[in-house]
Structure 1
């Protein structure tokens, strides 16, 4: 398998994991169960910002929390810049 293909699969999985984590945490919040720490959710957003952002919007989770409202989009921009650099250099 090509290394680029493997990296793409890993990247997609990281975004899926981030998306799922936001969904699971929202469910836990609704049922008053143990929650995922915000630092963990932000770390997952750093690794998979597109999944985290989708999770925030679809599950309506952490959309009012200040760190999430600016850090998750910032992580998305950083990922897009890195992607552009990798493609065009």
Structure 2
């Protein structure tokens, strides 16, 4: 089960990375963009690592503070969620 979750996490983050890159390409070519809400949504569902790489590699949205602080909130939420999950797993192991 953990191996499946690992592969799913890799796929979600790879897709997020590609979506951030695609949105940057759309921006450079004056095309209709992917909404920030959709970028947040895919990042929220555990694609934040791909989003971070996409933001820095493609230099996309890194100077827009209104986007960055919301993205940071998503990361904080995910950290709290993972801490909670790990505590629950630990309690189940101990008994």
Q: Same fold (TM over 0.5)?
A: yes
1:22-61, aligned counterparts within 5 Å? Answer: 22-47=20-45, 48-61=47-60
Using structure 1 for the length normalisation, give the TM-score: 0.82
Instruction: Give, in whole Å, the separation in 2 of the partners of 1:43 and 1:67.
Output: 16
Work out the number of aligned pairs and report it: 87
Which has more radius of gyration? Answer: 2
Which structure 1 residue ranges, 5 or more long, are not aligned? none
Identify unmatched segments of 5+ residues in structure 2. Answer: 89-95
List structure 1 runs of 4+ shifted beyond 4 angstroms: none
Please report the TM-score for the alignment, with normalisation by the length of structure 2: 0.78
Deviation track 1:38-86 (CA, whole Å, cap 9, x = no partner) reads 2111111212111111111111111222332112122122222222222
